[in-house]
Chain A
């Protein structure tokens, strides 16, 4: 579903990604862990083309991200093409980023109606269903400011799911939450992984979630993937010192 080959990205002089190569299979759940500033979030944003990569190649579902290849020449995609590709990838942010002037339901139905041109009645039905699925069937008409962090993040997940994405990206979805609210968001994510077999790329520090739901865990440090393996491998015998040091700090 996602394939990266030697992806590099710099912000000015600061090189954030120094050659990322990875493959995420369809239906797989891959967790990316690592210290802050290691480039995890940037990589996730590159997959959605919210950031442009400088070198290397990135594919989602077999299609090059941000470019069209004709022969051996690369053409930048037009805005409309970028938008079409993005519509198929759901993204959940650390700070929720719910649209503040819209109710929970309006947040969920906005993109289906405006981008996918789904008839409003149909979108509303689907939106109610999705919000019920994340346990917020009674909060349809609440504005984000009236919801707790955990509830907001669940609305954000429903909003992303409303576009029936092929791939879900989670950028530290529980890092901005009070500890007691983390569980409800992780439950929704687990249900996506187990019941709906969604392909998920999750940047997280929740090792409990990684252990239960992840097929594979990647450890990033300083713009590189330094270790890769099953969750069990990371709990039992991480091979790199840096990984061991990081895990002992967060566990």
Chain B
């Protein structure tokens, strides 16, 4: 035995086995390839796509301005939505039944009616309340506005999208806050932190990890939902409204819808990338190591390659 111990154990030879064949995979790959080629050929050769028209309008001033309005609508509506959603979520978790109940009622109403209907409502608000005023109910009024001058189409669009979004964001924020262990609050309070400080420094930052992914989703969804605002004829119009204005003149419907789709895709791609880095930032501490950025992964692959040669 002692002799055997002193000898280096011989490493058994490497396993050389015949790999399992997967004919199904080959068939599937062939089908996918066939469909892909067929689609590609039709897109490239069907002249009715009118790619020339697409190219002609892609960077025109009118379209680019439409993008600007779309982005503005998205940013403003999401800002309102996130702020309102956070307030509603905190209200929903309040021990006061009137406070949590009113939050519930808000979410029930704004989530329960179509956003297109809400957009039309805000657009026609002057029919419901011709004059808006600031004051005490049944008491004196301080300032009066005409609804038509205060709520222009752009404001109507932002309000409709933002107030609707608030209802969805409320549920997302609430889910995030619930996901933070109660022990975190215990620990913060035992250190003498106030409720507000605990919420701001301990609970919300950790809730962010749960809140960010669906919020990114909501932002991307909002970007596309802004196209609904085209029904109330914004001036100047957003992206879809802009291409509609063009094809109402030229009747080149398909190529201009392609222009709009291309730009929506470009912006959602940018948003997706932004979301990845935001998630990475708020994920710190949740995993042992931060996930690499695509750039880091690329560099690592470059560096590793020689070792495999």
Q: Which residues of A contact B (CB under 8 A)?
A: 48, 50, 79-80, 83-91, 93, 95, 97-103, 110-111, 114-116, 143-146, 156, 159-160, 163, 169
Number of A-B contacts (CB under 8 A): 83
Query: In the bound complex, how far is the Cα of B205 from the Cα of A150, in angstroms?
Result: 25
- Which chain B residue shows the least CB distance to A95? B183
Given the complex, which residues of A lie within 8 Å of B191, measured CB to CB? Answer: 86-87, 110-111, 115, 159-160, 163
CB pair A97 B193 closer than 8 Å: no
- Which chain A residue shows the least CB distance to B283? A101
CB pair B286 A115 closer than 8 Å: no
Chain A nearest CB from B262 CB (Å) reads: 39
CB pair B194 A89 closer than 8 Å: no
CB pair A99 B187 closer than 8 Å: yes
- Which chain B residue shows the least CB distance to A145? B288
CB pair A100 B285 closer than 8 Å: yes
Chain B nearest CB from A199 CB (Å) reads: 16
Given the complex, which residues of B lie within 8 Å of A144, measured CB to CB? Answer: 285
Query: In the bound complex, how far is the Cα of B202 from the Cα of A116, in angstroms?
Result: 17
**Interface presence of B55 (CB below 8 A):** no
Chain A nearest CB from B116 CB (Å) reads: 39
10 A–B contacts, CB within 8 A, in A order: A50-B186, A50-B190, A90-B190, A93-B186, A99-B188, A100-B206, A101-B286, A143-B284, A143-B285, A145-B288
Given the complex, which residues of B lie within 8 Å of A48, measured CB to CB? Answer: 190
- Which chain B residue shows the least CB distance to A114? B197
Given the complex, which residues of A lie within 8 Å of B282, measured CB to CB? Answer: 101
CB pair B189 A102 closer than 8 Å: no
CB pair B206 A83 closer than 8 Å: no
Query: In the bound complex, how far is the Cα of B284 from the Cα of A103, in angstroms?
Result: 10
Instruction: Evaluate whether A97 and B184 lie within 8 angstroms (CB atoms) in the complex, with A87-B191, A87-B192, A114-B197 already known.
Output: yes
**Interface presence of B292 (CB below 8 A):** no
CB pair A101 B205 closer than 8 Å: yes
CB pair A102 B285 closer than 8 Å: yes
Chain B nearest CB from A140 CB (Å) reads: 14
Query: In the bound complex, how far is the Cα of B191 from the Cα of A99, in angstroms?
Result: 12
Query: In the bound complex, how far is the Cα of B184 from the Cα of A169, in angstroms?
Result: 17
Given the complex, which residues of B lie within 8 Å of A169, measured CB to CB? Answer: 190
Query: In the bound complex, how far is the Cα of B205 from the Cα of A84, in angstroms?
Result: 24
Given the complex, which residues of B lie within 8 Å of A156, measured CB to CB? Answer: 187
Query: In the bound complex, how far is the Cα of B285 from the Cα of A103, in angstroms?
Result: 8
CB pair A83 B205 closer than 8 Å: no
CB pair A89 B190 closer than 8 Å: yes
Given the complex, which residues of B lie within 8 Å of A84, measured CB to CB? Answer: 192
Given the complex, which residues of B lie within 8 Å of A86, measured CB to CB? Answer: 189-192
Q: Is the interface of B mostly helix, strand, loop or mixed?
A: helix
**Interface presence of B300 (CB below 8 A):** no
**Interface presence of B201 (CB below 8 A):** yes
Over the window 22-42 of chain B, the binary record of Cβ atoms lying under 8 Å from chain A Cβ atoms (1 yes, 0 no) is: 000000000000000000000
State the 10 A-B residue pairs at the shortest beta-carbon distance, nearest first: A87-B192, A111-B191, A97-B187, A97-B183, A91-B190, A143-B285, A101-B285, A115-B192, A86-B192, A83-B192
- Which chain A residue shows the least CB distance to B200? A114
Interface residues of B in 196-214 (CB under 8 A from A): 197, 201-202, 205-206, 209
Chain A nearest CB from B284 CB (Å) reads: 7
Given the complex, which residues of A lie within 8 Å of B209, measured CB to CB? Answer: 101
CB pair A114 B183 closer than 8 Å: no
Chain A nearest CB from B91 CB (Å) reads: 18
Chain A nearest CB from B215 CB (Å) reads: 17
B197, B201, B285, B287 — most chain A CB neighbours (10 Å): B285
Chain B nearest CB from A11 CB (Å) reads: 14
Query: In the bound complex, how far is the Cα of B186 from the Cα of A95, in angstroms?
Result: 11
Interface residues of B in 250-304 (CB under 8 A from A): 282, 284-288
Given the complex, which residues of B lie within 8 Å of A88, measured CB to CB? Answer: 192
Query: In the bound complex, how far is the Cα of B191 from the Cα of A48, in angstroms?
Result: 10
- Which chain A residue shows the least CB distance to B192? A87
Given the complex, which residues of A lie within 8 Å of B288, measured CB to CB? Answer: 143, 145-146
CB pair B195 A79 closer than 8 Å: yes
Instruction: Evaluate whether A145 and B183 lie within 8 angstroms (CB atoms) in the complex, with A79-B194, A87-B191 already known.
Output: no
Interface residues of B in 41-99 (CB under 8 A from A): none
Interface residues of B in 108-167 (CB under 8 A from A): none
Given the complex, which residues of B lie within 8 Å of A99, measured CB to CB? Answer: 184, 187-188, 202, 206
Instruction: Evaluate whether A111 and B193 lie within 8 angstroms (CB atoms) in the complex, with A97-B181, A100-B206 already known.
Output: yes
- Which chain B residue shows the least CB distance to A98? B187
Given the complex, which residues of A lie within 8 Å of B186, measured CB to CB? Answer: 50, 91, 93, 97
Query: In the bound complex, how far is the Cα of B191 from the Cα of A80, in angstroms?
Result: 13
Query: In the bound complex, how far is the Cα of B188 from the Cα of A115, in angstroms?
Result: 10
Query: In the bound complex, how far is the Cα of B183 from the Cα of A95, in angstroms?
Result: 8
Known: A86-B192, A101-B284, A160-B191. 10 other contacts (CB 8 A): A91-B190, A93-B183, A97-B181, A100-B184, A101-B206, A101-B209, A101-B286, A114-B201, A115-B191, A143-B288
Query: In the bound complex, how far is the Cα of B285 from the Cα of A86, in angstroms?
Result: 27
CB pair A110 B201 closer than 8 Å: yes
Given the complex, which residues of B lie within 8 Å of A116, measured CB to CB? Answer: 192
Query: In the bound complex, how far is the Cα of B298 from the Cα of A173, in angstroms?
Result: 45
Chain A nearest CB from B212 CB (Å) reads: 13
